Structure 1
Amino acid sequence: MGGSTHFSVFLLVAIILLCSSSKTVNATCYASEKQALMDFKKDLKDPSGRLSSWIHDVDCCKWEGVVCSKRSGRVIQLLLQGPDPEIHVVGDEVVFVYPMSPLSGKISHSLKNLTHLRYLDLSQNNFSGIPIPSFFGSLRSLRYLNLSRAGFQGMVPYQLGNLSSLRTLSIGEVFLPSDLRADNLQWLAGLSNLEHLDMSGVNLSTASNWLEEASLTFCVK
Protein backbone atom coordinates (compact mmCIF):
# COMPACT_ATOMS: atom_id res chain seq x y z
CA MET A 1 0.00 0.00 0.00
CA GLY A 2 2.83 2.34 0.95
CA GLY A 3 4.69 1.56 -2.27
CA SER A 4 1.61 2.35 -4.33
CA THR A 5 1.21 5.69 -2.53
CA HIS A 6 4.86 6.62 -3.11
CA PHE A 7 4.56 5.76 -6.80
CA SER A 8 1.43 7.94 -7.14
CA VAL A 9 3.17 10.88 -5.48
CA PHE A 10 6.23 10.43 -7.73
CA LEU A 11 4.01 10.29 -10.83
CA LEU A 12 2.16 13.46 -9.78
CA VAL A 13 5.42 15.36 -9.18
CA ALA A 14 6.78 14.19 -12.55
CA ILE A 15 3.65 15.44 -14.35
CA ILE A 16 3.84 18.84 -12.61
CA LEU A 17 7.51 19.24 -13.53
CA LEU A 18 6.84 18.24 -17.12
CA CYS A 19 3.97 20.71 -17.48
CA SER A 20 5.88 23.58 -15.91
CA SER A 21 8.93 22.96 -18.08
CA SER A 22 6.82 22.90 -21.24
CA LYS A 23 5.57 26.41 -20.42
CA THR A 24 9.01 27.91 -19.89
CA VAL A 25 11.09 26.32 -22.66
CA ASN A 26 10.80 28.25 -25.92
CA ALA A 27 10.63 26.17 -29.08
CA THR A 28 12.93 27.00 -32.00
CA CYS A 29 11.56 27.91 -35.40
CA TYR A 30 10.83 25.41 -38.13
CA ALA A 31 13.48 25.04 -40.82
CA SER A 32 10.87 25.38 -43.58
CA GLU A 33 9.60 28.65 -42.12
CA LYS A 34 13.13 29.99 -41.70
CA GLN A 35 13.79 29.26 -45.37
CA ALA A 36 10.52 30.94 -46.34
CA LEU A 37 11.61 34.09 -44.51
CA MET A 38 15.07 33.97 -46.09
CA ASP A 39 13.46 33.75 -49.54
CA PHE A 40 11.19 36.65 -48.59
CA LYS A 41 14.23 38.71 -47.58
CA LYS A 42 16.01 38.03 -50.90
CA ASP A 43 13.32 39.89 -52.84
CA LEU A 44 13.39 42.93 -50.55
CA LYS A 45 15.55 46.02 -50.70
CA ASP A 46 16.72 46.98 -47.22
CA PRO A 47 19.20 49.88 -47.44
CA SER A 48 19.09 50.56 -43.70
CA GLY A 49 19.83 46.95 -42.74
CA ARG A 50 16.65 46.51 -40.73
CA LEU A 51 16.77 42.78 -41.45
CA SER A 52 20.47 42.33 -40.67
CA SER A 53 19.61 39.83 -37.91
CA TRP A 54 17.97 37.53 -40.49
CA ILE A 55 20.85 35.06 -40.96
CA HIS A 56 20.94 31.26 -41.12
CA ASP A 57 23.08 30.87 -38.00
CA VAL A 58 20.45 32.51 -35.79
CA ASP A 59 17.12 31.01 -34.73
CA CYS A 60 14.52 32.88 -36.79
CA CYS A 61 12.39 33.32 -33.65
CA LYS A 62 15.11 35.75 -32.51
CA TRP A 63 15.13 37.78 -35.71
CA GLU A 64 14.02 41.41 -35.67
CA GLY A 65 10.33 41.69 -36.47
CA VAL A 66 9.61 37.95 -36.15
CA VAL A 67 7.47 36.55 -33.33
CA CYS A 68 7.04 32.81 -32.83
CA SER A 69 4.77 30.72 -30.68
CA LYS A 70 6.72 29.80 -27.56
CA ARG A 71 5.17 26.35 -27.56
CA SER A 72 5.31 25.32 -31.20
CA GLY A 73 8.02 27.54 -32.69
CA ARG A 74 5.69 28.48 -35.53
CA VAL A 75 5.98 32.04 -36.88
CA ILE A 76 2.80 33.85 -35.82
CA GLN A 77 3.70 37.53 -36.33
CA LEU A 78 5.70 39.58 -38.82
CA LEU A 79 6.12 43.15 -37.53
CA LEU A 80 7.82 44.90 -40.45
CA GLN A 81 6.13 48.28 -40.42
CA GLY A 82 8.24 51.16 -41.67
CA PRO A 83 9.56 53.93 -39.43
CA ASP A 84 7.43 56.88 -38.38
CA PRO A 85 8.63 60.10 -40.03
CA GLU A 86 10.11 63.00 -38.12
CA ILE A 87 8.23 66.23 -38.86
CA HIS A 88 10.31 69.34 -39.54
CA VAL A 89 9.09 72.82 -40.38
CA VAL A 90 11.29 74.55 -42.96
CA GLY A 91 10.04 78.07 -43.58
CA ASP A 92 6.40 77.67 -44.57
CA GLU A 93 6.73 74.00 -45.50
CA VAL A 94 6.33 70.83 -43.46
CA VAL A 95 9.02 68.27 -44.33
CA PHE A 96 8.83 64.59 -43.43
CA VAL A 97 12.22 63.06 -42.66
CA TYR A 98 12.54 59.31 -42.16
CA PRO A 99 15.14 58.12 -39.61
CA MET A 100 15.77 55.01 -41.73
CA SER A 101 14.79 53.80 -45.16
CA PRO A 102 11.59 51.80 -45.60
CA LEU A 103 11.59 48.34 -47.11
CA SER A 104 10.94 48.09 -50.83
CA GLY A 105 11.21 45.55 -53.64
CA LYS A 106 8.94 42.56 -54.21
CA ILE A 107 6.99 40.27 -51.89
CA SER A 108 7.90 36.61 -52.29
CA HIS A 109 5.29 33.87 -52.59
CA SER A 110 7.35 32.05 -49.95
CA LEU A 111 5.22 33.77 -47.29
CA LYS A 112 2.51 31.22 -48.16
CA ASN A 113 4.56 28.69 -46.17
CA LEU A 114 3.88 30.63 -42.94
CA THR A 115 0.64 28.76 -42.42
CA HIS A 116 0.25 29.81 -38.77
CA LEU A 117 0.81 33.54 -39.38
CA ARG A 118 -1.77 35.60 -37.48
CA TYR A 119 -0.39 39.13 -37.68
CA LEU A 120 1.23 40.77 -40.71
CA ASP A 121 2.24 44.43 -40.71
CA LEU A 122 3.99 45.85 -43.80
CA SER A 123 2.64 49.38 -43.36
CA GLN A 124 4.66 52.56 -44.03
CA ASN A 125 7.07 50.88 -46.43
CA ASN A 126 7.56 51.68 -50.12
CA PHE A 127 6.62 48.91 -52.53
CA SER A 128 6.68 51.33 -55.46
CA GLY A 129 3.40 50.61 -57.14
CA ILE A 130 3.29 46.81 -57.09
CA PRO A 131 -0.17 45.30 -56.53
CA ILE A 132 -1.23 43.81 -53.22
CA PRO A 133 -0.31 40.11 -53.61
CA SER A 134 -3.40 38.00 -54.24
CA PHE A 135 -1.78 35.06 -52.41
CA PHE A 136 -2.31 36.94 -49.14
CA GLY A 137 -5.79 35.45 -49.39
CA SER A 138 -4.29 32.00 -48.69
CA LEU A 139 -2.92 33.07 -45.28
CA ARG A 140 -6.05 31.73 -43.61
CA SER A 141 -4.79 32.16 -40.03
CA LEU A 142 -4.42 35.94 -40.37
CA ARG A 143 -6.29 38.04 -37.85
CA TYR A 144 -4.50 41.33 -38.52
CA LEU A 145 -3.32 42.65 -41.91
CA ASN A 146 -1.91 46.16 -42.24
CA LEU A 147 -0.72 47.26 -45.69
CA SER A 148 -1.52 50.96 -45.28
CA ARG A 149 0.79 53.70 -46.60
CA ALA A 150 3.08 51.09 -48.18
CA GLY A 151 2.98 52.19 -51.83
CA PHE A 152 0.76 49.42 -53.19
CA GLN A 153 -1.24 50.17 -56.34
CA GLY A 154 -3.69 48.47 -58.68
CA MET A 155 -6.81 46.47 -57.97
CA VAL A 156 -7.44 45.31 -54.39
CA PRO A 157 -7.47 41.50 -54.72
CA TYR A 158 -10.83 39.89 -54.05
CA GLN A 159 -8.93 36.90 -52.58
CA LEU A 160 -8.66 38.89 -49.33
CA GLY A 161 -12.25 37.81 -48.80
CA ASN A 162 -10.95 34.31 -47.99
CA LEU A 163 -9.50 35.58 -44.69
CA SER A 164 -12.48 34.65 -42.57
CA SER A 165 -10.49 34.95 -39.30
CA LEU A 166 -9.43 38.53 -40.08
CA ARG A 167 -10.36 41.14 -37.48
CA THR A 168 -8.39 44.13 -38.79
CA LEU A 169 -7.75 45.09 -42.41
CA SER A 170 -5.92 48.33 -43.22
CA ILE A 171 -5.03 49.15 -46.82
CA GLY A 172 -5.54 52.90 -46.78
CA GLU A 173 -3.24 55.58 -48.22
CA VAL A 174 -3.99 58.71 -46.24
CA PHE A 175 -1.06 61.04 -46.87
CA LEU A 176 0.08 60.09 -50.40
CA PRO A 177 -1.83 59.83 -53.69
CA SER A 178 -3.13 56.28 -54.08
CA ASP A 179 -3.79 54.24 -57.21
CA LEU A 180 -5.43 51.44 -55.25
CA ARG A 181 -8.91 50.75 -56.55
CA ALA A 182 -11.74 48.25 -56.18
CA ASP A 183 -14.46 47.57 -58.75
CA ASN A 184 -16.59 45.62 -56.27
CA LEU A 185 -16.64 44.89 -52.56
CA GLN A 186 -18.53 41.61 -52.56
CA TRP A 187 -15.45 39.91 -51.11
CA LEU A 188 -16.01 41.83 -47.87
CA ALA A 189 -18.88 39.45 -47.11
CA GLY A 190 -16.30 36.70 -46.48
CA LEU A 191 -14.71 38.67 -43.62
CA SER A 192 -17.22 37.50 -41.04
CA ASN A 193 -15.03 38.39 -38.03
CA LEU A 194 -13.89 41.81 -39.25
CA GLU A 195 -13.96 44.54 -36.58
CA HIS A 196 -11.86 47.30 -38.19
CA LEU A 197 -11.64 48.24 -41.87
CA ASP A 198 -9.53 51.07 -43.31
CA MET A 199 -9.77 51.59 -47.08
CA SER A 200 -9.29 55.36 -46.98
CA GLY A 201 -7.91 56.65 -50.27
CA VAL A 202 -8.96 53.54 -52.22
CA ASN A 203 -10.81 54.49 -55.41
CA LEU A 204 -14.33 53.04 -55.24
CA SER A 205 -15.80 55.08 -58.11
CA THR A 206 -16.46 51.98 -60.23
CA ALA A 207 -17.65 49.76 -57.37
CA SER A 208 -21.40 49.19 -57.40
CA ASN A 209 -23.36 48.89 -54.14
CA TRP A 210 -20.14 49.34 -52.16
CA LEU A 211 -21.91 51.02 -49.24
CA GLU A 212 -24.38 48.13 -48.99
CA GLU A 213 -21.58 45.53 -49.01
CA ALA A 214 -19.59 47.39 -46.38
CA SER A 215 -22.66 47.76 -44.18
CA LEU A 216 -23.44 44.04 -44.38
CA THR A 217 -19.89 43.20 -43.36
CA PHE A 218 -20.24 45.01 -40.05
CA CYS A 219 -23.93 44.51 -39.33
CA VAL A 220 -24.33 40.78 -39.98
CA LYS A 221 -22.31 39.39 -37.06
Structure 2
Amino acid sequence: MMLRLLSQMCLLLWMLLCSVRLNTITCCHERDRSLLLMFKQGVVDPSNRLSSWSSVQDCCLWEGVECDDDRVVRLMLPSSHNSETLRGEINLSSLLSLDFLEQLHLDYNDFERISMPSINNSVATHTHLLPNSSKIWVLNLSYNIYLRIDNLHFLLSQLPSLTSVRLSGIRLPSETNWVQLLASLPLQKLFLNHCYLNSSVLSRICQF
Protein backbone atom coordinates (compact mmCIF):
# COMPACT_ATOMS: atom_id res chain seq x y z
CA MET A 1 0.00 0.00 0.00
CA MET A 2 2.75 2.42 0.98
CA LEU A 3 4.71 1.52 -2.15
CA ARG A 4 1.70 2.21 -4.35
CA LEU A 5 1.13 5.56 -2.64
CA LEU A 6 4.75 6.54 -3.17
CA SER A 7 4.53 5.51 -6.80
CA GLN A 8 1.42 7.65 -7.31
CA MET A 9 3.07 10.61 -5.61
CA CYS A 10 6.13 10.28 -7.85
CA LEU A 11 3.89 10.20 -10.92
CA LEU A 12 2.01 13.30 -9.81
CA LEU A 13 5.27 15.10 -9.11
CA TRP A 14 6.62 14.19 -12.53
CA MET A 15 3.44 15.46 -14.22
CA LEU A 16 3.67 18.68 -12.24
CA LEU A 17 7.27 19.23 -13.29
CA CYS A 18 6.35 18.60 -16.92
CA SER A 19 3.55 21.12 -16.68
CA VAL A 20 5.87 23.72 -15.20
CA ARG A 21 8.48 23.02 -17.85
CA LEU A 22 6.03 23.44 -20.71
CA ASN A 23 4.27 26.53 -19.42
CA THR A 24 6.61 28.69 -17.41
CA ILE A 25 10.28 27.80 -17.79
CA THR A 26 12.21 29.30 -20.68
CA CYS A 27 15.18 27.14 -21.56
CA CYS A 28 16.76 29.26 -24.23
CA HIS A 29 19.04 32.13 -23.38
CA GLU A 30 17.11 35.40 -23.35
CA ARG A 31 19.69 37.18 -25.51
CA ASP A 32 19.43 34.45 -28.16
CA ARG A 33 15.66 34.73 -28.09
CA SER A 34 15.80 38.50 -28.61
CA LEU A 35 18.25 38.20 -31.49
CA LEU A 36 16.10 35.61 -33.26
CA LEU A 37 13.06 37.85 -32.92
CA MET A 38 15.08 40.68 -34.47
CA PHE A 39 15.83 38.39 -37.42
CA LYS A 40 12.14 37.48 -37.71
CA GLN A 41 11.12 41.14 -38.00
CA GLY A 42 12.61 41.28 -41.48
CA VAL A 43 11.13 37.98 -42.65
CA VAL A 44 7.98 37.78 -44.76
CA ASP A 45 6.33 34.48 -43.83
CA PRO A 46 3.21 33.95 -45.99
CA SER A 47 2.58 30.39 -44.81
CA ASN A 48 3.17 31.21 -41.13
CA ARG A 49 5.99 28.71 -40.86
CA LEU A 50 7.40 30.65 -37.94
CA SER A 51 4.19 30.66 -35.89
CA SER A 52 5.94 28.88 -33.03
CA TRP A 53 8.28 31.86 -32.75
CA SER A 54 5.36 33.79 -31.28
CA SER A 55 3.33 31.13 -29.51
CA VAL A 56 6.12 29.23 -27.72
CA GLN A 57 8.21 30.94 -25.07
CA ASP A 58 11.21 28.61 -25.25
CA CYS A 59 13.10 29.52 -28.43
CA CYS A 60 14.83 26.12 -28.41
CA LEU A 61 11.43 24.67 -29.38
CA TRP A 62 10.90 27.06 -32.28
CA GLU A 63 10.68 25.87 -35.87
CA GLY A 64 14.18 25.44 -37.30
CA VAL A 65 16.02 26.29 -34.08
CA GLU A 66 18.38 23.80 -32.47
CA CYS A 67 20.09 24.36 -29.14
CA ASP A 68 22.89 22.90 -27.11
CA ASP A 69 21.84 23.36 -23.49
CA ASP A 70 20.28 26.82 -23.55
CA ARG A 71 22.23 28.33 -26.48
CA VAL A 72 21.23 28.38 -30.14
CA VAL A 73 23.75 26.44 -32.25
CA ARG A 74 21.86 25.80 -35.51
CA LEU A 75 19.23 27.66 -37.51
CA MET A 76 17.73 25.31 -40.10
CA LEU A 77 15.09 27.03 -42.24
CA PRO A 78 15.51 25.69 -45.79
CA SER A 79 12.42 25.67 -47.95
CA SER A 80 11.11 22.34 -49.16
CA HIS A 81 8.32 21.03 -51.38
CA ASN A 82 6.08 20.96 -48.29
CA SER A 83 6.58 24.55 -47.22
CA GLU A 84 6.29 28.00 -48.76
CA THR A 85 9.43 30.05 -49.10
CA LEU A 86 10.45 32.74 -46.65
CA ARG A 87 10.96 36.20 -48.13
CA GLY A 88 12.12 39.65 -47.16
CA GLU A 89 15.54 40.37 -45.71
CA ILE A 90 18.14 38.42 -43.80
CA ASN A 91 19.15 40.45 -40.77
CA LEU A 92 22.62 38.97 -40.62
CA SER A 93 23.74 41.26 -37.83
CA SER A 94 21.37 39.60 -35.39
CA LEU A 95 22.29 36.07 -36.52
CA LEU A 96 26.04 36.64 -36.35
CA SER A 97 25.59 37.98 -32.84
CA LEU A 98 24.28 34.62 -31.64
CA ASP A 99 27.37 33.69 -29.64
CA PHE A 100 27.18 29.93 -30.21
CA LEU A 101 25.59 29.70 -33.66
CA GLU A 102 27.54 27.17 -35.76
CA GLN A 103 25.31 26.43 -38.74
CA LEU A 104 23.03 28.72 -40.75
CA HIS A 105 20.81 27.12 -43.40
CA LEU A 106 18.41 29.45 -45.26
CA ASP A 107 18.62 27.79 -48.68
CA TYR A 108 15.86 27.53 -51.30
CA ASN A 109 13.92 30.52 -50.00
CA ASP A 110 13.16 33.84 -51.70
CA PHE A 111 15.09 36.30 -49.57
CA GLU A 112 15.85 39.47 -51.49
CA ARG A 113 18.54 41.21 -49.48
CA ILE A 114 20.95 40.96 -46.59
CA SER A 115 21.04 43.78 -44.07
CA MET A 116 23.91 44.48 -41.71
CA PRO A 117 22.51 47.15 -39.36
CA SER A 118 23.80 47.96 -35.91
CA ILE A 119 22.28 46.01 -33.03
CA ASN A 120 20.61 47.80 -30.16
CA ASN A 121 22.66 47.88 -26.98
CA SER A 122 19.78 46.39 -25.01
CA VAL A 123 20.25 43.15 -26.93
CA ALA A 124 23.91 43.00 -27.85
CA THR A 125 27.01 43.96 -25.92
CA HIS A 126 28.38 45.84 -28.94
CA THR A 127 26.62 48.25 -31.26
CA HIS A 128 28.55 46.92 -34.24
CA LEU A 129 29.76 43.51 -35.20
CA LEU A 130 33.35 42.86 -34.31
CA PRO A 131 35.54 41.42 -37.08
CA ASN A 132 36.16 37.68 -36.81
CA SER A 133 33.57 37.30 -34.07
CA SER A 134 31.35 34.51 -35.41
CA LYS A 135 31.64 30.78 -34.75
CA ILE A 136 29.60 29.83 -37.83
CA TRP A 137 31.32 27.09 -39.82
CA VAL A 138 28.46 26.21 -42.20
CA LEU A 139 26.80 28.93 -44.28
CA ASN A 140 24.10 27.86 -46.74
CA LEU A 141 22.19 30.57 -48.61
CA SER A 142 21.94 28.66 -51.89
CA TYR A 143 19.20 29.26 -54.44
CA ASN A 144 17.68 32.35 -52.95
CA ILE A 145 17.43 33.35 -56.59
CA TYR A 146 16.40 36.96 -55.92
CA LEU A 147 19.24 37.54 -53.48
CA ARG A 148 22.23 39.66 -54.42
CA ILE A 149 25.24 40.02 -52.12
CA ASP A 150 27.04 43.27 -52.92
CA ASN A 151 29.66 43.18 -50.16
CA LEU A 152 30.79 39.58 -49.99
CA HIS A 153 34.22 40.59 -48.69
CA PHE A 154 32.67 42.13 -45.58
CA LEU A 155 30.39 39.15 -45.07
CA LEU A 156 33.20 36.60 -45.29
CA SER A 157 35.43 38.67 -43.02
CA GLN A 158 32.90 38.15 -40.22
CA LEU A 159 33.08 34.37 -40.60
CA PRO A 160 36.65 33.19 -39.97
CA SER A 161 35.62 29.65 -39.03
CA LEU A 162 33.83 28.75 -42.28
CA THR A 163 34.52 25.26 -43.56
CA SER A 164 31.43 24.96 -45.80
CA VAL A 165 30.08 27.79 -47.97
CA ARG A 166 27.08 27.26 -50.24
CA LEU A 167 26.07 30.30 -52.28
CA SER A 168 24.90 28.66 -55.50
CA GLY A 169 22.21 30.49 -57.44
CA ILE A 170 22.99 33.89 -55.90
CA ARG A 171 24.24 36.94 -57.78
CA LEU A 172 27.70 37.57 -56.40
CA PRO A 173 29.80 40.71 -56.99
CA SER A 174 32.02 40.73 -60.06
CA GLU A 175 34.99 42.38 -58.34
CA THR A 176 37.66 40.04 -57.02
CA ASN A 177 38.50 41.58 -53.63
CA TRP A 178 36.57 38.81 -51.85
CA VAL A 179 38.23 35.95 -53.71
CA GLN A 180 41.58 36.26 -51.95
CA LEU A 181 39.78 36.18 -48.61
CA LEU A 182 38.59 32.65 -49.43
CA ALA A 183 42.18 31.46 -49.19
CA SER A 184 42.41 32.59 -45.58
CA LEU A 185 39.39 30.52 -44.53
CA PRO A 186 39.61 26.85 -43.46
CA LEU A 187 37.28 25.89 -46.33
CA GLN A 188 36.57 22.26 -47.12
CA LYS A 189 33.47 22.80 -49.28
CA LEU A 190 32.70 25.69 -51.62
CA PHE A 191 29.64 25.80 -53.89
CA LEU A 192 29.29 28.75 -56.27
CA ASN A 193 27.28 27.25 -59.11
CA HIS A 194 25.08 29.58 -61.19
CA CYS A 195 26.40 32.72 -59.50
CA TYR A 196 26.82 34.73 -62.73
CA LEU A 197 30.54 35.13 -62.11
CA ASN A 198 32.71 36.37 -64.96
CA SER A 199 35.71 34.44 -66.22
CA SER A 200 38.29 36.55 -64.35
CA VAL A 201 36.63 35.85 -61.00
CA LEU A 202 36.29 32.15 -61.78
CA SER A 203 39.94 31.88 -62.81
CA ARG A 204 41.07 33.41 -59.54
CA ILE A 205 38.86 31.07 -57.52
CA CYS A 206 40.37 28.10 -59.34
CA GLN A 207 43.82 29.16 -58.16
CA PHE A 208 42.95 28.34 -54.55
Is structure 2 residue 200 aligned with structure 1 residue 211? no
Measure, in 1, the Cα distance between the counterparts of 2:90 and 2:193: 23
Measure, in 2, the Cα distance between the counterparts of 1:139 and 1:166: 12
State the partner residue of 1:143. Answer: 137
Measure, in 2, the Cα distance between the counterparts of 1:83 and 1:194: 27
State the partner residue of 2:76. Answer: 79
Residues 168 and 196 in structure 1, CA contact (< 8 A), matched pair in contact too = yes
Residues 32 and 113 in structure 1, CA contact (< 8 A), matched pair in contact too = no
Residues 66 and 78 in structure 1, CA contact (< 8 A), matched pair in contact too = yes
How many residues are matched? Answer: 167
* Greater C-alpha Rg: 1
Percent identical pairs in the alignment equals: 31
Residues 161 and 190 in structure 1, CA contact (< 8 A), matched pair in contact too = no
Measure, in 2, the Cα distance between the counterparts of 1:197 and 1:32: 31
Unaligned runs of 5+ in 1: 1-26, 85-98, 217-221
Measure, in 1, the Cα distance between the counterparts of 2:116 and 2:167: 12
What pairs up with 1:52-201 in 2 under 5 angstroms? 52-55=51-54, 57-70=56-69, 73-84=70-81, 99-108=82-91, 109-128=93-112, 130-131=113-114, 140-150=134-144, 151-155=146-150, 157-159=152-154, 160-173=156-169, 179-184=171-176, 185-191=179-185, 193-201=186-194
Measure, in 1, the Cα distance between the counterparts of 2:35 and 2:90: 11
Measure, in 2, the Cα distance between the counterparts of 1:29 and 1:180: 35
Measure, in 1, the Cα distance between the counterparts of 2:115 and 2:205: 21
| TM-score of the aligned structures, taking structure 2 as reference length | 0.70
Tell me: CA distance 1:49–1:120, structure 2 relative to 1, closer, same or farther (3 Å). Answer: same
Deviations 1:71-125 (A, max 9, x none): xx111000011114xxxxxxxxxxxxxx432000112232232021100001000
| TM-score of the aligned structures, taking structure 1 as reference length | 0.66
Deviations 1:10-46 (A, max 9, x none): xxxxxxxxxxxxxxxxx92110110111111121111
Unaligned runs of 5+ in 2: 1-25, 118-128
State the partner residue of 2:28. Answer: 29
**Which of 103-112 and 73-82 deviates more?**
103-112
RMSD: 2.7
